[in-house]
Chain A
Amino acid sequence: MSQLRRAKNLVKSSFRPPSPDRAPTGTAANAVTLGTASSVNEGGMAAFKAEDREIAVAKVGGTYYAFNDICTHRRCSLSDGELDDTTLTCICHGSRFDISTGDVLRGPAQRPLEVYPVRVEGDELRVDVPRPS
C-alpha cells in the first residue's frame, strides 16, 4: 500500500470512537476467497481485503493462519510485524499475539485478535468471516 493511500484510508477513520470489541457476534459466517496460497511464503505473512476487513494470512510450518490484520491496540497493520513460530509481534508498540488462538501474549494490547478458520482449495485461500451484524 502506498504511503499516501494508507494515509488516506487512515485519516478517514480518524476521530471515530475506538472500534468496539471485535469478537464475533454470532455464528453466521461468510466463506470468502482472499487470494492465492502461493502468495504467502513459509514463515511470512500477507494481507488481504475481504468483507470490509483487512485479513492477514501467515504460513508457519506448512500451516496457514488467518487473523484480523489490524492490531487491537492502536490499529497498526500486524502483517508488518515479526513472526516467530505462531507468535506475532506488532511493529508499532510491540504487542504480542498467538495467531493460532488470537490470545494476547504481551501488552500493551488488551483485547484478543479475531482469528478465522482458513483452508486451501486448489491454490485459493478461503476463510470463514463472521457476517457483519
Chain B
Amino acid sequence: MTSANARTFVIIGGGLAGATAAATLRKEGFDGRVVLFGEDPERPYELPPLSKGYLRGEDERDKVFVHREGFYGERHIELRVATRVVALEPRTQEVVTDAGERLRYDRVLLATGASARRLAVPGADLSGVHYLRTLADADALRDRLGRARNAVVIGGGWIGAEVTASVRQLGLDVSLVAPASVPIERVLGREVGRIYHDLHAERGVELLMGAKVEALVGTHAVEAVQLADGRLVPADLVVVGIGTTPRTELAVGAGVAVDGGIVADEYLRTNVPGVFAAGDVASVWHPRLGARIRVEHWDNAKRQAQAAAKNMLDREAIYERIPYFYSDQYDLGMEYSGYAPSWDGVVFRGDPNAREFIAFWLKDGRVAAGMNANVWDVNAAVEALVTARTPVDLERLVDLETPLEDLERIVLQPA
C-alpha cells in the first residue's frame, strides 16, 4: 500500500498512546509507512486493569491489550515489540534502535511513557519487593500474591490505594504506608482523602499514615518494613507505588525541550520540527487551563494520542480536553474531572458519609475540579462546570433539591 515516495511516520512507545496514535493515523487516511516501536515484548496493552481486575485474577490476560493481535497487520502498522529506540537524530531525521538499525522518518511521535520511581532505602532489592508498571510486573506480583500473607503497600497515591484494595479483596492482611495524613491527599486533599482512609480501614486495612520507610528488612526475601519511628511491620510481600518518572532520555539526547516531561504546545508539537509528544511523558500546554500540565491517565493517553496523530497529518487539532480519570476501590467508584493543583475549599453535593456525592474543589469562587463518587451520569455536567470557569452559586451547587435548570444557570450566569 506504500509507494516509493511514501512518507514514514515513526511512533516511539508501545503503550496505549502509541497504539492509539498508530490506529488514528490509519483511521484518518494516512497511507504512508507507520512504524510503532515498543520496548515491551508484549503488543500494546492498557494499564488500568493491572491494579484492578487483572491483578485480582478476574480479567483474563487477553483482555488487557489495546487491540487484538491481527489489528496491526491488517492496517499495515509495523509493530516492532521488544525493540528499544536508543537515539533520535532530528538533523538527519533518523531513529536508531538497540540493534543498530537506522530508520528515516518524516514525522515522529514520542510516547515513551513513564517508569516507576524506585524506592531508595536499604533492602529495596530484596526478593518479594514489587513494582507495578508493566504486564510483566503484574504477572510477577500475581504469582507472589498466591504465596503471600502479609502485604505492605508503600505509597498512598492512586496505584497504592488501588493495589491495597485489590490485595485486601484477595484476602491478604494489608498495611498501607504513606507519608501523607490520608490516602491520595496530594490530589484530593484531606476532606475527600479521609473518605478513602475510612473505606480502607473498614475493610480491615491497617493504615500507617504520616509514616516514612527507613529500610526493608530480610535476609534473602523481605520479612518486614522498618519505619522511621522504629516500628517494624511484618511483610512477606511489599508493593511500591511512589510515583513515576517521565521517560525523557531520548528527547533530551535529541535536543527536545524537557521540563518535568517533554514540553509540547496545544498541538502536541515539541520545539523540534516534526517531533511530537503525547501521553504520560508529555507536558502539554492546556489553553483552557492556562497551564502546562502532564497527565498520567488512561483517558489522556488515548485522547491526546488521537490529537497528536491528527496534528502529524497537519489537521490542526488543539488538545484542550479537561483532565479526566476514574478509580474503583472495593464498592466505591469515582470519576474526576478538572485540574486543581491548589484550592481554597471543597464542598459536597450529596452525602459523603453515605459515599454518594459529588465533591467540588473551588478556586477563586470557581469550580476547578469535581469528582462524582457512586453517582453516575453526571460527568458531563461536572466537566461543563469546570470548563465554564465562571464563579458559581455555592448554595445551589450543593443543594440536591436544586433542579438541573438552576445548575445550568450556575454555569451560565456569573455572580
Binding site for B on A (CB under 8 A): 3-4, 6-8, 10-15, 18, 74-76, 84, 87, 91-94, 96, 105-108
Binding site for A on B (CB under 8 A): 46, 48, 52-53, 58-59, 63, 67-68, 71, 298-299, 302, 326, 328, 333, 335, 350, 356, 358, 375-381, 383-384, 387, 400, 404-405, 407-408, 411
Contact at B59–A106, with CB atoms within 8 Å? yes
Contact at A11–B48, with CB atoms within 8 Å? no
Determine which of B59, B326, B379 lies in contact with A10 in the assembled complex, contact meaning CB atoms within 8 Å: B379
Known: A94-B46, A108-B53. A7 touches B377 (CB 8 A): no
> Which of B333, B376, B379 has the most C-beta atoms of chain A within 10 angstroms of its own C-beta?
B376
Q: Smallest CB–CB gap between A59 and chain B, Å? A: 15
Contact at A7–B408, with CB atoms within 8 Å? yes
Q: Smallest CB–CB gap between A11 and chain B, Å? A: 4
Query: Within 8 Å CB of B68, what residues of A?
Result: 84, 87
Query: Within 8 Å CB of B405, what residues of A?
Result: 8
Contact at B387–A3, with CB atoms within 8 Å? yes
CA distance A15 to B326 in the complex (A): 18
Contact at A3–B380, with CB atoms within 8 Å? yes
Specify the chain A residue showing the minimal Cβ separation from B406: A11
Determine which of B67, B298, B328, B378 lies in contact with A11 in the assembled complex, contact meaning CB atoms within 8 Å: B378
Query: Within 8 Å CB of A14, what residues of B?
Result: 358, 375-378, 381, 404
CA distance A50 to B72 in the complex (A): 37
Determine which of A3, A11, A107 lies in contact with B407 in the assembled complex, contact meaning CB atoms within 8 Å: A11
CA distance A10 to B383 in the complex (A): 12
Specify the chain A residue showing the minimal Cβ separation from B302: A91
CA distance A75 to B383 in the complex (A): 15
> Which of B58, B63, B333, B380 has the most C-beta atoms of chain A within 10 angstroms of its own C-beta?
B380
Known: A74-B335, A94-B298, A108-B328. A4 touches B384 (CB 8 A): yes
**25 A-B pairs, CB-CB below 8 angstroms?**
A4-B384, A6-B380, A6-B384, A7-B380, A7-B383, A7-B407, A7-B408, A7-B411, A8-B381, A8-B408, A10-B379, A11-B408, A12-B404, A14-B377, A15-B400, A74-B326, A74-B335, A75-B376, A91-B302, A92-B335, A93-B326, A94-B48, A96-B63, A106-B59, A106-B63
Q: Smallest CB–CB gap between B306 and chain A, Å? A: 10
Query: Within 8 Å CB of B407, what residues of A?
Result: 7, 11
Q: Smallest CB–CB gap between A108 and chain B, Å? A: 7
CA distance A75 to B328 in the complex (A): 16
Q: Smallest CB–CB gap between B77 and chain A, Å? A: 13
Known: A84-B67, A84-B68. A3 touches B384 (CB 8 A): yes
8 closest A-B pairs by CB? A7-B381, A11-B404, A7-B384, A106-B63, A75-B377, A11-B381, A14-B378, A6-B380
Q: Smallest CB–CB gap between A87 and chain B, Å? A: 8
Specify the chain A residue showing the minimal Cβ separation from B412: A4
Query: Within 8 Å CB of A87, what residues of B?
Result: 68
CA distance A17 to B90 in the complex (A): 56
Query: Within 8 Å CB of B376, what residues of A?
Result: 14, 18, 74-75
CA distance A2 to B190 in the complex (A): 35
Query: Within 8 Å CB of B67, what residues of A?
Result: 84
Specify the chain B residue showing the minimal Cβ separation from A18: B376
Contact at A13–B377, with CB atoms within 8 Å? yes
Q: Smallest CB–CB gap between A89 and chain B, Å? A: 9
CA distance A12 to B48 in the complex (A): 30
Determine which of B59, B302, B350 lies in contact with A15 in the assembled complex, contact meaning CB atoms within 8 Å: B350
Query: Within 8 Å CB of A106, what residues of B?
Result: 59, 63
Specify the chain A residue showing the minimal Cβ separation from B387: A3
Query: Within 8 Å CB of A74, what residues of B?
Result: 326, 333, 335, 376-377, 379
